Structure 1
Amino acid sequence: MTSPSTPSRGRPARLDRAKTVGTALELLDDVGLEALTMRRLADRLGVQAGALYRHFTTKQDLLTAMAERMLGDIDASPGAAGAAGAADWAGRLRALVRAMRRALLAHRDGARVFGGTHSVGPHTLAFAEAALGVLREAGFKDEDAARAFMGMVNFTLGHTLEEQAASAPDEGGAPGDVGSLREAVLAGPYPHLAATITVLTSADFDAHFEFALDVQIEGLRHLRSGAE
């Protein structure tokens, strides 16, 4: 006699959607997005590949579910930035954007997985609701709030894509080499590039991110003050 958790003879094990997504994220961390296939995931779960299609019609459906799960680590509650920061729209927005970056960086190729997905899951919608709420409550017009939100998401995604690409091993197993860029700049008639090459080739992605985030926040301050 079989128990509810034990498959009958000849019947494949019942897949749990949440466990499948969690296992897919673990596999992503192990092998990267290029090597993440439905067949390899099925092998990791100990099932036939066809069993996955009961939950995910395509690999893109799986990636969307993985992106949704990644945003689940973000605390999008109104007081997430702390009691003092709850009334500071810029501080609250910064906290949300930083949290998104951390969520993407928490997994190998996390930004590549997230890019192009359009989840309507509760984590994704809660994050969007929180960010838009911050902007609308700060007095931004609905149109400006929507575009500001999309701009922040696209900036964070693009930055994290570049950050993860720069830190990923190349085919030789070593991180990307910026030496060729430096040599080309210093050997040619590029005085402005040469003057800034140290920063341009720096791997201090935290500093790059925070500077660009400051610029965007200050731009939003200017937009907000002009609307008053």
Structure 2
Amino acid sequence: MTAHPARGRGRPPAADRAHVTAAALRLLDEAGLDALTMRKLATAVGVQVGTLYGYFPTKRALLNAMAEELLAGCAETDETVPSERVRTLLRNLRTALLSRRDGARVYAGTHSTGPNTLGLTETLLGALREGGLEAVEATESAILLVNFAIGHVLEEQATTEANPDLPGEMAELKDAIQRGDYPLLTEFRVHLGETDYGRLFEQGIRSLTATLR
């Protein structure tokens, strides 16, 4: 009789973790982050809730895994000029976060130690160092740039993804401006709610990387 390796107690195999993560991302797209609960995820996967905690002991651990999956391919760039390499990496990050409903909310505050996250960070730091920054400057710039991208997409998704209350909120904002003593806001209120987020993102990353080679 052929002996089979004994399965150790504790965490299920990595393939099962990947299956649960993929199911969580599908549920995220369908219902949004607020509706993503361990109970609903267990139902989607077809297991008991308690089983999920063998894969992910906390919801934060699940979000870390989801964030890691979001960043797949983000470190890839063919740019040879350091400043352009940095900008490409940030564009990759924005695209990745926008690829999933509430993607920026999922990613914000996570601390994945997976190869997608660490690979992006390593590549970004390398480009910043090649661009002329010392180690401390490069580290601080990397944090600033990533935080800019996350914050930008947070606002972008909050105003462009399905939000039935948004038209009413914008009308109320414009009325409040018109009633008050805000001459500059009054002049530009017609443009409120018509933001070109792609153009603003480009403007932001070029301003933040203007001193790089």
The bucket for the TM-score relative to the shorter chain is 0.7 to 0.9
- Superposed CA deviations along residues 55-106 of structure 1, whole A, max 9, x for unmatched, are 10011110110001100132x24xx2x3xx31x1111111000100010000
Provide the rounded CA distance (Å) in 1 between the counterparts of 2:49 and 2:39.
5
Q: 1:110 aligns with which of 103, 108, 118?
A: 103
Say yes or no: does 1:185 pair with 2:159: no
Cα offset for 1:169?
A: 3.0
Gaps of 5+ in 2: 5-11
Computed over aligned residues only, the root mean square deviation of the Cα atoms, in angstroms, reads 2.0
Which structure has greater helix proportion?
2
Counterpart residue number, 1:7: none
Amino acid at match of 1:42: A
Provide the rounded CA distance (Å) in 1 between the counterparts of 2:136 and 2:130.
13
Counterpart residue number, 1:123: 116
In structure 2, relative to structure 1, the CA distance for the partners of 1:73 and 1:174 (3 Å cut) is: farther
Provide the rounded CA distance (Å) in 2 between the counterparts of 1:53 and 1:89.
42
Cα offset for 1:207?
A: 1.7
Counterpart residue number, 2:131: 138
Say yes or no: does 1:89 pair with 2:77: no
Provide the rounded CA distance (Å) in 1 between the counterparts of 2:18 and 2:34.
22
Amino acid at match of 1:40: K
Say yes or no: does 1:206 pair with 2:198: yes
Asked whether the 8 Å contact 1:104–1:111 carries over to 2, the reply is: yes
Asked whether the 8 Å contact 1:168–1:175 carries over to 2, the reply is: no
Provide the rounded CA distance (Å) in 2 between the counterparts of 1:142 and 1:129.
12
**Which of structures 1 and 2 has the larger relative contact order (alpha carbons within 8 angstroms, sep 6+)?**
2
Give the paired residue count: 201
In structure 2, relative to structure 1, the CA distance for the partners of 1:73 and 1:96 (3 Å cut) is: same
Provide the rounded CA distance (Å) in 2 between the counterparts of 1:136 and 1:178.
43
Gaps of 5+ in 1: 5-12
The alignment's TM-score, normalised by the length of structure 1, stands at 0.82
